[in-house]
Amino acid sequence: MSSHTGKTRVAGVMGWPISHSRSPILHGFWLAEHKIDGAYIPLPVRPDDFAAALKGLAALGFAGANVTVPHKEAAFALVDQRDEAATKIGAVNTIVVLPDGRLEGRNTDAYGFIANLQHNAPQWRADAGPAVVLGAGGAARAVVHALLKAGAPEVRIVNRSLDKAEALARTIGGSAHSWDELPNLLTDAGLLVNTTSLGMNGYPPLEVDLAPLPSHALVSDIVYAPLVTKLLSDAKARGLATVDGIGMLLWQAQPAFEAFFGVRPTVSVALQERVLAG
């Protein structure tokens, strides 16, 4: 039996498709944990319907919504105002309905990435050395912004299409490099991050020779299916510290949940196990 009332706070996640999203499980866990009269629902929204769906959030009494593929850039263009991270990254993953009905676009991906590193690799310091970021897509934009804001002395963006890396470097910062430069770029790196889909279930593995990396370097992969990618497995075999991708998903949801439901939740082992179980 539903315990929802006329005072239930409602939020959700918009995407197309949306059935793969772990966000309803994640937010549902926190709602139950904090005994909140709230609901968080998947919202399958076709790209052509996205603008209309956004306008409906306030009318339906939603507290807000998360936004995933393919709507993050469209959301950026359609909201009434944006926070600093969204403005810099050029994408919105969290929309908060303000008291006057206007929509504020936020980006919590950068926060989630750094919080995951700090929580799971407390020895890592952003200013300890250059960071090497593989990929130049939307996730890379958030990661590069996060690293520069955290104090990384240099962020090297490596992509098979150099023009995309150059475009990212121009808009957010860092330096652009081709894939064949990678061995030299790793020799003094303090962090290597994969933001590509390589290594994800259904995609080819990411083949990178980690031999040039210093022994103190941290290796991170934002892919979380599988949890231990070939990149992380190879790094562990070399004795390097690693951070998997599930934490970024969990931590980026923390400020969104607080904005929607008024409580700042805890990222726990129990939460991770629940989300991974699906």
What is the pTM assigned to this prediction?
0.95
Distance CA 161, CA 182 (A): 14
Instruction: For residue 79, name the pLDDT band (cuts at 50, 70, 90).
Output: very high
Residue 13, SS3 per DSSP: strand
Percent of the residues in the chain that have a pLDDT greater than 70, as a whole number: 98
pLDDT score of 1 more than 80: no
Binding-site positions: 21-23, 68, 84, 93, 109, 135-139, 222, 224, 245, 252
- Eight-class DSSP state of 205: P
What pLDDT does residue 7 have?
87
Binding-site positions for shikimate: 21-23, 68, 93, 109, 224, 252
Tens digit of each residue's pLDDT (9 = 90 or more) over 174-209:
999 999 999 999 999 999 999 999 999 999 999 999
Distance CA 176, CA 174 (A): 7
Instruction: For residue 152, name the pLDDT band (cuts at 50, 70, 90).
Output: very high
Point out the catalytic residue in the list 7, 35, 55, 72.
72
230 is a catalytic site residue = no
Residue 207, SS3 per DSSP: coil
Rounded to 10°, the helix 269-277/23-33 angle is 140
Q: Where are the beta strands (DSSP E) in the chain?
A: 9-15, 38-44, 62-67, 81-82, 94-97, 103-106, 131-134, 155-158, 175-177, 191-194, 218-221, 241-243
Buried b or exposed e, range 144-172, using 16+ CB within 10 angstroms: bbbbbbbebebbbbbbeebebbbbbbeeb
Residue 5, phi then psi, degrees to nearest 5: -130, -175
The full set of domains in the chain, from first to last, is 9-107+250-277 (3.40.50.10860), 110-244 (3.40.50.720)
pLDDT score of 2 more than 80: no
What pLDDT does residue 133 have?
98
pLDDT score of 50 more than 80: yes
The stretch 101-121 carries a mean pLDDT of 97
